[in-house]
Amino acid sequence: MGSNKPKAVKIGICGLGTVGSGTVNVLQRNAEVIAARCGREIEIVQVGARRDNPACDTSAYNVSREIFDVATNPEVDILVELIGGTTVARELILAAIENGKHIVTANKALIAEFGTEIFEAAARKGVTVAFEAAVAGGIPVIKALREGLSANQVEWLAGIINGTGNFILTEMWEKGRDFGEVLKEAQALGYAEADPTFDVEGIDAAHKLVILASLAFGIPLSFDKVYTEGISRIETTDIQYAAELGYRIKHLGVARRRNEGIELRVHPTLIPEKRLIANVNGVMNAVLVKGDAVGPTLYYGAGAGAEATASAVIADIVDIARTLEVLPGQRVAPSGFFSDSHCSSGVLPVDDVETAYYLRMSAHDKPGVMSQVASICSDEGISIEALIQHEPGEGEDHVPVVILTSRVQEAKLQSAVRKIEALDSIAGAVTRIRVESLG
């Protein structure tokens, strides 16, 4: 290289929120080391933002209040979409692709819901779309799945991919606090939105899971097929019983390949406390991937935050900068697979999913109840792997009973639960939480 350096890569950044300002700041601070790794300079030729952000200094740049200017700016090689949402962002990206720009985005919802359309448009124009920052913030897990583990058939993956949810469950576990109370704190700390639905009901995690599963298995992005369950019904009492059994409760996105098809599901999960991923606490993220050759590998780090996410955005810019002049076939495919080689497995309906289960019920404290429950389980082919039954408190005639089952098909479990709930000796509903050994 030396004096014969290739020309700078020219980027346009759209959006100056948390991630946008973090990206500008890291590009400024680490310009030298980034250029040394990339082999060329990265030059911000335009910033498109409705308003400035005092968290970063854009006085040296060409700032436009009209973000679509960036998509049509003939100088721009790469459009960096950091505005979020799925309406304007989609139009912006499609317009930029039409104009021959490469795309870097941190937009998980957009990729999960409209990724197929965007990848197809990019393939037609011979540009690439990179979205490392869309899943697990700064952790280079998309690169790991798409490149680092390219020799593997992925068997399954499981991720703590929503920091807000993990913060809430960690606080509930460490301090015995209730969900509602911790949620309020998370909102005060800025970890959770005023409307926390996306985080606590698992929608954000489902967006990310769909992206990971697509890269792992070569299946189409299929957000509408994910089974999604949030953490809002987890009680501290379940966290404590789980601990008594040697488990932690984490909110996981799980994708598993079976002969019949792919399981795609987001739900609270009991994990053996000895597993590394069971010890990922606070707002941190981690993704555990099981490949047939490599075995289990785990990727851990910050799942959000200005500079952590910027780290992933810039890594994508560097990757594209390196391959700016090459043919599309010499780049990594956005979906991880060349399009005529996709896996044909479909996503299984939730009734066909198989997991072990944690069941908690309130049972009348009299002889014979447990044998009735055991007999219902046995009829559905469910083994009881562990059981906790404490003495009733003073003056109480019902006792909590906790059961860990063997792996069972969802439909059979639901059938057994309906029968248990119908017993006179069982009061109220049975609490159900899935269990994964992740072994």
Site for a second copy in 166-195 (CB under 8 A): none
Q: Yes or no: say if 145 and 315 are a contact pair by the CB < 8 Å rule.
A: no
Which residues in the 11-40 window bind a second copy by CB under 8 A? 22, 26-27, 29-30, 32-39
Q: Is 208 a catalytic residue?
A: yes
Stretch that binds a second copy, among 139-147, 233-241, 256-264, 380-388 (CB under 8 A): 139-147
Query: Does 280 interact with a second copy (rule: CB under 8 A)?
Result: yes
Of 39 and 176, nearer to a second copy (C-beta) is 39
Which residues in the 80-99 window bind a second copy by CB under 8 A? none
Sign of CA dihedral 330, 106, 84, 201: positive
Of 295 and 346, nearer to a second copy (C-beta) is 295
Q: Which residues of 220-239 are buried (b: 16+ CB within 10 A; e: fewer)?
A: bbbbebbbbbbbbebebebb
Which residues in the 193-232 window bind a second copy by CB under 8 A? 218
Size of the site for a second copy (CB under 8 A): 76
Query: Does 259 interact with a second copy (rule: CB under 8 A)?
Result: no
Q: Do you know the residue count of the chain?
A: 439
Query: Does 144 interact with a second copy (rule: CB under 8 A)?
Result: yes
Q: What is the DSSP letter of 347?
A: B
Q: Yes or no: say if 110 and 14 are a contact pair by the CB < 8 Å rule.
A: no
Which residue carries 């590009």 as its tokens? 27
Of 150 and 375, nearer to a second copy (C-beta) is 150
Stretch that binds a second copy, among 110-118, 200-208, 310-318, 370-378 (CB under 8 A): 310-318
Q: CB 306 → a second copy: shortest distance, Å? A: 9
Query: Does 151 interact with a second copy (rule: CB under 8 A)?
Result: yes
Task: List, in sequence order, every residue forming a beta bridge with 64; answer none if it has no partner.
Answer: 48
Please report the DSSP string for 63-129 in residue order.
EES-THHHHH-TT-SEEEE-S-SSSHHHHHHHHHHHTT-EEEE--HHHHHHHHHHHHHHHHHHT--E
CA-to-CA distance for 297 and 291, rounded, in angstroms?
8
Query: Does 291 interact with a second copy (rule: CB under 8 A)?
Result: yes
Q: CB 37 → a second copy: shortest distance, Å? A: 5
Of 310 and 430, nearer to a second copy (C-beta) is 310
Which residue carries 């083994």 as its tokens? 383
Choose the catalytic residue: 208, 225, 250, 290. 208
Which residues in the 372-431 window bind a second copy by CB under 8 A? none
Of 272 and 400, nearer to a second copy (C-beta) is 272
Q: Yes or no: say if 154 and 217 are a contact pair by the CB < 8 Å rule.
A: yes
Stretch that binds a second copy, among 296-304, 367-375, 387-395, 419-427 (CB under 8 A): 296-304
Among 97, 205, 245, 310, indicate the residue that binds a second copy (CB under 8 A). 310
- Residue type at 359 in one-letter notation: L
Using only the alpha carbons of the chain, give its radius of gyration.
24
Q: Which residues of 309-318 are buried (b: 16+ CB within 10 A; e: fewer)?
A: bbbbbbbbbb
Stretch that binds a second copy, among 59-67, 144-152, 195-203, 247-255 (CB under 8 A): 144-152
Please report the DSSP string for 205-231 in residue order.
HHHHHHHHHHHHH-PPP-GGG-EE--S
Which residues in the 117-136 window bind a second copy by CB under 8 A? 132
Q: CB 155 → a second copy: shortest distance, Å? A: 12
Which residues in the 319-378 window bind a second copy by CB under 8 A? 319, 322-327, 329-333, 336-342
Query: Does 148 interact with a second copy (rule: CB under 8 A)?
Result: yes
Residues recognised as catalytic = 208
